């Protein structure tokens, strides 16, 4: 099951759709422990990324430049801290599949893990510090582990999605060691981290993409 640049256009559209639907909710979460702009930032970034990737000639563009276009558009559209974090994630995804004209399942799992690692390295946050890393890291670990033990791609991403949800939920009981919420000390307890919540939305969109992609290849085209 190869993933082409045309498929990546669909993926970025799904991500933008998922974030747009939760824009106000993400702003509310950020309003509680940050400056209230997280939904606006993610919506602007994801819409810009989807537009940039969607505007490419998919037949003439390899996955790496498509991810790079997403990174650049996201960074330009977002002034908040999520800007460089996701720009790095998309750049790393692109770098992990360099010189490939389309992606195997293995490439895709590794690109996903590279996103998580990029976010962690760029922001220097460890799990437990109440950031998006608390959703991304367990999701990437779950996908890599399931993939290594021979699990089919849709199930790997189903597990990644569940790990992300659990990781996000766990941020509720944490104090923040990174970002704006770190200034609140114990007052941050009781609130979910907005970046972890948007990470769940993105990872859910990726899981949905994988499931759709897998599904539409099983259906015979002449039916
Ligand atoms: P800002 O705080 O600049 O307004 P956003 O509202 O877009 O940025 O994003 C806030 C989110 O960014 C936080 O909820 C957290 O998940 C994430 N974040 C902040 N700093 C870091 C970091 N160093 N590493 C990883 N994620 C971070
Ligand atoms: Mg904010």
Q: Give the number of C-alpha atoms closer than 13 A to the C-alpha of residue 6, restricted to the C-beta side.
A: 4
Share of the chain above pLDDT 70, in %: 96
Cβ atoms of 122 and 74 closer than 8 Å: no
Nearest CA owner, ligand 1 atom 14: 195
SS3 137: helix
Q: Please tell me the number of the ligand nearest to residue 83's CA.
A: 1
Ligand 1, residues 83, 122, 179, 200: which to mutate, most atoms within 8 A of Cβ? 179
Nearest CA owner, ligand 1 atom 25: 123
pLDDT at residue 219 in the model: 53
- b/e burial code for range 2-17 (CB count within 10 A of at least 16 → b): ebbbebbbbbbbbbbe
- All domains of the chain in start order, with CATH: 5-213 (1.25.40.340)
Residue-wise pLDDT tens digits, 17-62: 999 999 999 999 999 999 999 999 999 999 999 999 999 999 999 9
Q: Around ion ligand 2, which residues have CB less than 5 A away?
A: 30, 34-35, 37-38
Residue-wise pLDDT tens digits, 203-213: 999 999 999 98
Own/partner contacts of 183-187, CB < 8 Å, gap of 24 or more, are 184/33, 187/33
Question: Taking Cα atoms as reference points, which of 219, 193, 213 lies closest to residue 82?
Answer: 193
| 119 CA: nearest ligand 1 atom | 25
pLDDT at residue 85 in the model: 98
Nearest CA owner, ligand 1 atom 9: 82
Centre of ligand 1 to C-alpha 223, Å, is 47
221 — pLDDT class (breaks 50, 70, 90): low
pTM: 0.96
Cβ atoms of 66 and 5 closer than 8 Å: yes
Residue 223 has pLDDT above 80, yes or no: no
| 195 CA: nearest ligand 1 atom | 16
Centre of ligand 1 to C-alpha 203, Å, is 17
Q: How far is CA 85 from CA 122, 145, 166, in A?
A: 6, 24, 21
The response to whether residue 61 sits with its C-beta less than 6 Å from ligand 1 reads: no
Ligand 1, residues 82, 83, 140, 200: which to mutate, most atoms within 8 A of Cβ? 82
What is the C-alpha separation between 42 and 52, in angstroms, rounded? Answer: 15
Centre of ligand 2 to C-alpha 94, Å, is 26
Q: Please tell me the number of the ligand nearest to residue 171's CA.
A: 1
Q: How far is CA 20 from CA 43, 44, 77, 173, 205, in A?
A: 5, 9, 15, 27, 12
């Amino acid at each position: 099951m190869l993933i082409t640049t045309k498929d990546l256009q669909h993926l970025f559209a799904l991500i933008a759709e998922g974030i747009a639907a939760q824009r106000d909710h993400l702003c509310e979460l950020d309003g509680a422990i940050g400056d209230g702009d997280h939904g606006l930032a993610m919506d602007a970034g994801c819409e810009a990324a989807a537009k940039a990737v969607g505007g490419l000639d998919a037949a003439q563009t390899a996955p790496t430049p498509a991810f790079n276009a997403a990174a650049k558009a996201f960074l330009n559209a977002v002034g908040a801290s999520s800007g460089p974090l996701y720009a790095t994630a998309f750049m790393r995804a692109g770098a992990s599949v360099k010189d490939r004209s389309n992606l195997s399942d293995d490439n895709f799992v590794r690109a996903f893990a590279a996103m998580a690692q990029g976010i962690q390295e760029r922001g220097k946050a460890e799990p437990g510090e109440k950031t998006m890393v608390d959703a991304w890291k367990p999701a990437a670990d779950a996908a890599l582990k399931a993939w290594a033990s021979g699990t089919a791609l849709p199930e790997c991403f189903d597990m990644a999605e569940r790990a992300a949800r659990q990781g996000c939920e766990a941020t509720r009981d944490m104090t923040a060691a990174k970002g704006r919420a770190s200034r609140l000390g114990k007052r941050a307890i009781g609130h979910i981290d907005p970046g972890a919540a948007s990470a769940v939305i993105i990872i859910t969109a990726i899981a949905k993409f994988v499931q759709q992609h897998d599904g539409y290849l099983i259906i015979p085209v002449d039916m």
